């Protein structure tokens, strides 16, 4: 990333007064629901209040409340003006962004192009980031033309610059050197978004209040109190009891009860959230979670594509959809569900075929079996622990003696990304999730499939060492074509190759669910994340 500034930017860390709202405790949450204060229970909480710390869905969805990007997305991921009012190609390799005048940060500072420059610089270089935003800034040159005009250039044409610019939150340039802790404690947490951050007590609650000076449409709630409740049944009970007004990820077993209960509204949407399994594909280093039958460490069996295919064939996706998810998922064979961007007609979910799986395991030289531990977050995704346990049972039936270890999402994602030797991904096999947050088809490919190349922003989510130079070239060629149709053809070809080589093992796409007390509505879209500004009272 290259930076050109029209003037020297003053960098300092200010120590402003950090307001804390005092909530009177009454019962589980505090007083009865009101139109002024909304009480929300989420399945998991962000890992940080730093909008640049970790490129993680839950972090990003929360960041949209406190911060804005240059480009925003509507509920169906269509790009709409944010801190930029317009954008268009300036020449073959440059996009020009016109910025919004009169915008103020929560601390009263005026927004300008210098804040964009500072944000892009910081987002790519946050220390100890488990999953960097550099993928959205690498290979780009940023030039301030004037206070409200910005040029973004690349060596090759790039049609997805506006999509990339929808993924990076803009901060006040005065805080470009702020630490993650400064954001977590509120010292630096000043955005231009519809809400202000008041307080974060990790594992307990988050409090935000309405930004009355917001440049866009005013949000409805004076304040929102957010509580992480990882257990779905406990979230349902809190809603029924009136302790909360709104919940996400309704436990499938609780859905019929809520749908038939007076005074409760349920919202459902087919989402682009995919649950998948990663399998370590290299022998360096040898990981501690795979051994022979006697418990001796071995190199990863999943370097052999036959073993990766065997795992896929051993998973009964339809049984998981029917019995674990109670119908709230559809078997997956690729990143996108049918009808979404990047979907390939050439790929379907693998059928359940344990006999063929056993044949492939024997052919790969593991007829005597081995021991495996699979890891995953507890409470991050609907029924995630039960899904892990079901997969472990299925793998054990074909000769892979599999156990499960789960942990809080904040712990899991850090270890998943960099908990191993030399800060490499730690696990041999892990279940995680993905939703296309950028709204363009190259996103999952360059994040999860492309060979990991940190200096170029490729492969930050490639946890298992998959690498194919032909796939890399297709991804890069597609991203450098201003012909969208031509680019999508390259992406689909890359997807076909990567999925047939089991770069990762898709499990299912979730059907997203939310529920609310009577009088509250929620605007649904393609993503299964909860966007607080889309929660409204019914008129």
- Each residue of 424-438: pLDDT tens digit? 899 999 999 998 878
User: What pLDDT score was predicted for residue 14?
Assistant: 35
> What pLDDT sits at residue 325?
93
CATH of the domain at 207: 3.40.190.10
What proportion of the chain, given as a percentage, has pLDDT over 90? 79
The distance in angstroms from the start CA to the end CA of the chain is: 47
DSSP 63-123: HHHH---SEEE-TT--EEESSEEEEEEEETTEEEEEEPTT-B-TTSPBP-HHHHHHHHHHH
Q: Return mean pLDDT, the chain.
A: 91
CATH number for position 464: 3.10.105.10
Residue 441 banded pLDDT, cuts 50, 70, 90: confident
Q: Who's near 267: CB < 8 A, 6+ residues apart? A: 513, 514, 515, 516, 521, 522, 524
Cα Rg, the chain, nearest whole Å: 23
130 occurs within a structural domain: yes
- Whether the predicted pLDDT of 30 surpasses 50: no
Q: Helix, strand, or coil here: 227? A: strand
- Check whether residue 191 and residue 285 sit in a common domain: no
Same domain, 198 and 324: no
Q: Are 295 and 371 in contact (CB under 8 A)?
A: yes
Cα–Cα distance measured from residue 522 to residue 538, given in angstroms and rounded to the nearest whole number: 9
- pTM, entire model: 0.76
Question: Residue 139 pLDDT > 70, yes or no?
Answer: yes
Alpha-carbon distances of 45 from 166, 191, 219, 225, rounded to whole Å: 22, 19, 21, 12
Would residue 324 count as lying in a domain? yes
Smallest Cα–Cα separation from 261: which of 237, 240, 238?
240
- 211 and 332 both lie in a single domain: no
What pLDDT sits at residue 122? 98
Question: Average pLDDT, stretch 480-506?
Answer: 94
Residue 318 lies in a domain: yes
Domain assignment present for 523 = no
pLDDT (0 to 100) of residue 4: 58
| 405: pLDDT strictly greater than 50 | yes
Contact 208, 66 (CB under 8 A): yes
Of 228, 257, 285, the residue that ends a domain is 228
Q: Is the pLDDT of residue 35 over 80?
A: no
Same domain, 341 and 490: yes
- Residue 493: pLDDT over 90: yes
Helix (H) or strand (E) segment spanning residue 397: helix 384-397
524 part of a folded domain: no
pLDDT at 31 over 80: no
Q: Do 368 and 504 reside in the same domain of the chain? A: yes
d(CA 513, CA 265) in angstroms, rounded, equals: 11
Question: Does some domain include residue 474?
Answer: yes
Q: Please tell me the predicted confidence (pLDDT) of residue 341.
A: 79
Residue 274 and residue 330: Cα distance in Å, rounded?
10
> In the chain, how many domains are there?
2
Residue 428 included in any domain:
yes
Query: Where does the pLDDT of residue 225 fall: very low under 50, low under 70, confident under 90, or very high at 90 and above?
Result: very high
Residue 515 has pLDDT above 80, yes or no: yes
Dihedral of the alpha carbons of 146, 148, 154, 157, in degrees to the nearest 10: -120
Residue pair 431/275 in contact by the 8 Å Cβ criterion: yes
Best CA proximity match to 69, nearest among 84, 47, 57: 84
Judge whether 349 and 335 are in contact, CB under 8 Å: no
Question: Is residue 202 assigned to a domain?
Answer: yes
Please give the residue range of the domain that contains residue 498: 270-511
CA–CA distance, 361 with 314 (Å, rounded to integer): 11
What pLDDT, in 10s, does the model give residues 468-486? 999 999 999 999 888 888 9
The residue from 199, 228, 257 where one domain ends is: 228
- What average pLDDT does this structure show over 434-457? 89
Residue 34 has pLDDT above 70, yes or no: no
DSSP-derived 3-state class of residue 246 = strand
Rounded Cα distance between 123 and 136, Å, is: 9
């Amino acid at each position: 990333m290259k930076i050109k500034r029209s003037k020297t930017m003053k960098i300092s860390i200010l120590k402003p007064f950090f307001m804390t709202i005092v909530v009177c405790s009454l019962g589980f949450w505090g007083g009865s629901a009101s139109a002024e204060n909304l009480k929300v229970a989420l399945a998991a909480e962000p890992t940080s209040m730093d909008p640049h710390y970790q490129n993680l869905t839950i972090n990003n969805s929360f960041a949209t409340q406190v911060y804005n990007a240059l480009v925003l997305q509507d509920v169906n991921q269509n790009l709409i003006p944010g801190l930029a009012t317009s954008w268009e190609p300036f020449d073959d390799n440059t996009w020009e962004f016109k910025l919004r005048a009169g915008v103020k940060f929560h601390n009263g500072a005026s927004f300008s192009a210098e804040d964009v420059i500072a944000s892009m610089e910081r987002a790519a270089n946050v220390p100890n980031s488990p999953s960097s935003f550099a993928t959205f800034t690498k290979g780009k040159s940023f030039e301030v033309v004037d206070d409200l005009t910005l040029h973004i250039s690349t060596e090759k044409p790039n049609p997805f610059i506006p999509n990339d610019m929808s993924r990076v939150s803009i901060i006040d340039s005065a805080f470009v050197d702020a630490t993650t802790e400064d954001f977590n404690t509120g010292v630096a947490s000043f955005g231009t978004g519809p809400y202000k951050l008041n307080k974060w007590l990790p594992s307990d609650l988050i409090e935000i209040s309405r930004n009355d000076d917001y440049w866009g449409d005013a949000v409805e709630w004076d304040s929102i109190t957010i509580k992480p409740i990882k257990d779905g049944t406990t979230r349902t009970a809190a809603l029924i009891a009136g302790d909360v007004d709104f919940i996400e990820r309704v436990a499938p077993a609780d859905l019929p009860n809520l749908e038939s209960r007076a005074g409760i509204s349920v919202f459902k949407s087919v989402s682009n959230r995919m649950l998948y399994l990663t399998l370590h594909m290299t022998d360096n280093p040898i990981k501690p979670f795979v051994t022979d039958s006697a418990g001796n460490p071995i190199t990863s069996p999943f370097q052999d594509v036959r073993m990766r295919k065997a795992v896929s064939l051993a998973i009964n996706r339809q049984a998981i959809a029917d019995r674990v998810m109670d119908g709230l998922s559809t078997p997956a064979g690729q990143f996108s569900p049918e009808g979404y961007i990047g979907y390939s007609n050439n790929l379907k979910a693998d059928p359940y075929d344990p006999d063929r799986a056993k044949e492939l395991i024997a052919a790969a030289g593991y007829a005597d079996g081995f021991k495996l531990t699979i890891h995953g977050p507890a409470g991050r995704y609907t029924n995630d622990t039960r899904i892990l346990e079901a997969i472990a049972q299925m793998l054990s039936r074909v000769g892979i003696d599999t156990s499960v270890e789960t942990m809080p999402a904040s712990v899991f994602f850090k270890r998943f990304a960099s908990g191993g030797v030399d800060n490499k991904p730690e696990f041999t096999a892990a279940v995680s999730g993905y939703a296309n947050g950028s709204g363009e088809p190259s996103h999952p490919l360059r994040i999860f499939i492309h060979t990991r190349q940190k200096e170029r922003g490729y492969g930050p989510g490639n946890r298992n060492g998959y690498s194919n130079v032909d796939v890399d070239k297709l991804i890069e060629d597609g991203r450098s074509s201003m012909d969208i149709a031509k680019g999508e053809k390259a992406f689909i070809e890359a997807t076909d190759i990567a999925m047939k080589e089991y770069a990762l093992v898709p499990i299912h796409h979730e059907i997203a669910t939310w529920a609310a007390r009577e009088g509250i509505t929620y605007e649904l879209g393609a993503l299964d994340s909860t966007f607080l500004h889309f929660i409204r009272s019914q008129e």
